[in-house]
């Protein structure tokens, strides 16, 4: 029987040849991810349910990447790190990346890819809704709650319902002014924030497979903003090259069958699309940049698991080189590796970091920073009456700090162009 790529991966994890959307199955988990926000309560539940001296099911399959509230004086944030550190030591976890050491990596969803944990055909669960980012590698990744994560810690399994799939096909050659962020915001404007609830969002088409891996990660990252259980792109040669450069572990490639059944299908030609933003206060409140051009902003923020990857900064540098920003502009690399790359990667003979600094931007240390608001001393945190253009993934009231601020979600190109003018600006004005 015909299956989608998501069905095939879940069937493999359930030791089955076929699974049907809507049925629930036991899945064998390949990787469990957690971080400093949800890790401590997950640990508490694990100890309560499995016993104070219980051991995790597999010390090589638990990945702990603190990343949310890192560079802060907040005592509660520090306590969470201490709890993770203690648990990792007690359990002998092989993949704990401690803060303040050379093992610290940064934002978990990007670090997973960099460290070779994203393998096609595998199943990843994480205590973070943006775990769906990893689906860019032809694997299943989704966010879960702390109780489910605690159950996986003790058993290595989880009972899950197989989702239906929606297919989004993007044809045509990507124009220079369009990015993956524009594509996913276009989708969200069409389906709304609950249009894909508990479904797999599958991305396909010439334009998708022309994208580098980090741009594909932007697409799958924001599947959850449409309510999706997971986002997924079949692994191709580009994905395989990325994986093989970072891991020697075996993996399996899956493709959707041509006659697989979908809940619905959407078809786009990228040549018909243009740069867009999500206006306050929802990721589906789409508008073309030109329709809101001239709206004054107070800050520009380029960072997060969605918009803080090296590819994002390469895009921003194309706009910012030789320019000066007119509003506070925060450059927040997702990971330590990205931060180092800002110093070595160049655009037109100049390092990205120098381009940003010469333009008047502030380059921060790698973490989630203001994407989730954070303590009062968090870099880039919004304050009352701020109007922020941001490459992050959510713009609900209070998401980036103050409930009395407005956030426009945008591509790195749009965020950079707007930083220069101090108002929402279509990047085509600078390209």
Does the pTM surpass 0.95? The reply is yes
User: Rounded to an integer, what distance in angstroms lies between the CA atom of residue 26 and that of residue 269?
Assistant: 39
Distances from the Cα of 122 to the Cαs of 65, 220, 253, in angstroms? 19, 16, 9
Name the phi and psi angles at 270, rounded to 5: -65, -20
Structure-derived torsion over alpha carbons of residues 225, 227, 233, 238, reported in degrees to the nearest 10: 20
User: Rounded to an integer, what distance in angstroms lies between the CA atom of residue 256 and that of residue 152?
Assistant: 28
Distances from the Cα of 200 to the Cαs of 4, 239, 284, 401, in angstroms? 9, 19, 18, 30
Q: 301: closest CA among 222, 412, 395?
A: 412
Residue 393, pLDDT score? 98
Triad 307, 313, 314: Cα angle to 5°:
130
Angle between helices 310-320 and 412-421 (to 10 degrees): 30
Render pLDDT for 80-95 as a digit per residue (tens, 0 to 9).
999 999 999 999 999 9
Residue 83, pLDDT score? 98
174: DSSP letter: P
In the three-class reduction of DSSP (H, G, I as helix; E, B as strand; rest coil), residue 242 is classed as helix
User: Rounded to an integer, what distance in angstroms lies between the CA atom of residue 303 and that of residue 410?
Assistant: 11
Residue 7, pLDDT score? 98
How many CB atoms are closer than 10 A to CB 11?
19
Residue 241: which residues within 8 A CB-CB, separation 6 or more? none
Domains of the chain: which residue ranges? Answer: 8-162, 163-247+263-273, 276-429
User: Rounded to an integer, what distance in angstroms lies between the CA atom of residue 109 and that of residue 307?
Assistant: 12
Residue 39, pLDDT score? 98
Q: Give yes or no on whether 8-162 and 163-247+263-273 have one common fold.
A: yes
- Indicate the helix (H) or strand (E) that contains 31: strand 31-34
Q: Which of the four CATH numbers 3.40.710.10, 3.40.50.300, 1.20.140.10, 3.30.499.10 does domain 163-247+263-273 have?
A: 3.30.499.10
**Mean per-residue pLDDT of the chain:** 98
Split at pLDDT 50, 70, 90, the class of 308 is: very high
User: Rounded to an integer, what distance in angstroms lies between the CA atom of residue 334 and that of residue 365?
Assistant: 9
SS3 content of the chain, % helix, strand, coil (to 5): 35, 20, 45
Strands (E), 127-195: 140-143, 157-161, 164-171
Architecture of domain 276-429: 2-Layer Sandwich (3.30)
Q: Do residues 104 and 64 make contact, with C-beta atoms less than 8 angstroms apart?
A: no
CATH superfamily of the domain spanning 8-162 = Aconitase, domain 3 (3.30.499.10)
With 0-12 / 13-18 / 19 or more C-beta atoms within 10 angstroms meaning exposed / middle / buried, residue 92 is exposed
Distances from the Cα of 149 to the Cαs of 60, 158, 220, 349, in angstroms? 15, 9, 21, 46
Residue 213, pLDDT score? 98
Question: DSSP secondary structure string, 207-237?
Answer: HHHTS-HHHHHHHHHGGGGGT-SEEE----H
With 0-12 / 13-18 / 19 or more C-beta atoms within 10 angstroms meaning exposed / middle / buried, residue 397 is middle
In the three-class reduction of DSSP (H, G, I as helix; E, B as strand; rest coil), residue 408 is classed as strand
When pLDDT is averaged across residues 41-49 and rounded to a whole number, the result is 98
Residue 407, pLDDT score? 98
When pLDDT is averaged across residues 219-231 and rounded to a whole number, the result is 98
Render pLDDT for 130-151 as a digit per residue (tens, 0 to 9).
999 999 999 999 999 999 999 9
């Amino acid at each position: 029987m015909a299956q989608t790529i998501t069905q095939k991966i879940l069937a493999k994890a359930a030791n089955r040849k076929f699974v049907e959307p809507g049925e629930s199955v036991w899945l064998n988990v390949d990787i469990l991810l957690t971080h400093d926000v949800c890790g401590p309560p997950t640990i508490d539940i694990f100890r309560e349910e499995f016993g104070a001296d219980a051991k995790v099911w597999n010390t090589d399959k638990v990945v702990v990447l603190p990343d949310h509230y890192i560079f802060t004086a907040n005592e509660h944030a520090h306590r969470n790190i201490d709890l993770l550190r203690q648990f990792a030591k007690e359990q002998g976890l092989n993949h704990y990346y401690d803060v303040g050491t050379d093992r610290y990596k940064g934002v978990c969803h990007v670090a997973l890819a960099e460290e070779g944990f994203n393998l096609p055909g595998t199943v990843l669960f994480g205590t973070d809704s943006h775990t769906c980012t990893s689906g860019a590698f032809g694997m299943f990744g989704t966010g879960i709650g702390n109780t489910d994560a605690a159950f996986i810690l003790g058993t290595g399994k989880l009972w899950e319902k197989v989702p239906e799939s929606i297919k989004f096909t993007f044809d045509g050659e990507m124009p220079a002014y369009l990015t993956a962020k524009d594509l996913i915001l276009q989708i969200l404007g069409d389906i709304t924030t609950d249009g894909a609830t508990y479904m797999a969002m599958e991305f396909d088409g010439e334009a998708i497979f022309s994208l580098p891996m980090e741009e594909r990660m932007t697409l799958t990252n924001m599947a959850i903003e449409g309510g999706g259980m997971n986002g997924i792109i079949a692994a191709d040669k580009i994905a395989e090259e990325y994986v093989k450069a970072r891991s020697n572990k075996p993996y399996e490639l899956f493709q959707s069958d041509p006659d697989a059944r979908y809940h619905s299908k959407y078809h786009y030609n990228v040549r018909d699309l243009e740069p867009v933003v999500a206006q306050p206060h929802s990721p589906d409140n789409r508008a073309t940049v030109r329709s809101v051009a001239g709206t004054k902003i107070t800050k520009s923020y380029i960072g997060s698991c969605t918009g803080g990857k090296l590819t994002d900064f390469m895009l921003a540098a194309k706009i910012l080189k030789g320019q000066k920003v007119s509003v506070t502009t925060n450059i927040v690399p997702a990971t330590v590796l990205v931060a180092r790359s800002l110093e070595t990667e160049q655009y037109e003979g100049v390092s990205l970091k120098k381009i940003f600094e010469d333009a008047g931007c502030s380059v921060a240390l790698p973490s989630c920073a203001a994407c989730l608001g954070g303590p009062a001393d968090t870099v880039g945190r919004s304050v009352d009456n701020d109007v922020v253009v941001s490459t992050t993934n959510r713009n609900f009231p209070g998401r980036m700090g103050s409930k009395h601020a407005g956030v426009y979600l945008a591509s790195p190109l749009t965020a950079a162009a707007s930083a220069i003018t101090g108002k929402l600006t279509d990047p085509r004005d600078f390209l």
